[in-house]
Amino acid sequence: MTTESNFNEKEYQRTKVIRQTTGASEAVYGLGLIGAWVYFLSHATTFWLVVLGLLKGIVWPALLVFQLMKFLGM
């Protein structure tokens, strides 16, 4: 019984040390998302252009990286 309780305590201590950290990339993506929405929505004149602007704002990083790789010849 003592061995089981020691094992459970050690397992608890080991999992207690594991923590998830977030990077600054989430903040940069969030600011870019807001900026893209401001840009696309300021040019929208109809409801469907607003919807398209919201969708474009979400996928702009993928398009940016694709165009960058194409420019660099990768």
pLDDT digits (tens, 9 = 90+) for 2-52: 555 555 666 655 555 556 666 677 788 888 889 999 999 999 999 999 999
Question: Residue 68: its pLDDT value, please?
Answer: 87
> In the chain, how many domains are there?
1
Cβ atoms within 10 Å of 66's Cβ, excluding its own:
10
3 in a structural domain: no
> Which two structure tokens, joined as six digits, stand for 27?
């903040």
Cα 46 to Cα 8: distance, rounded to the nearest angstrom: 61
8 in a structural domain: no
**Domain range for 51:** 32-74
Question: Residue 44: its pLDDT value, please?
Answer: 93
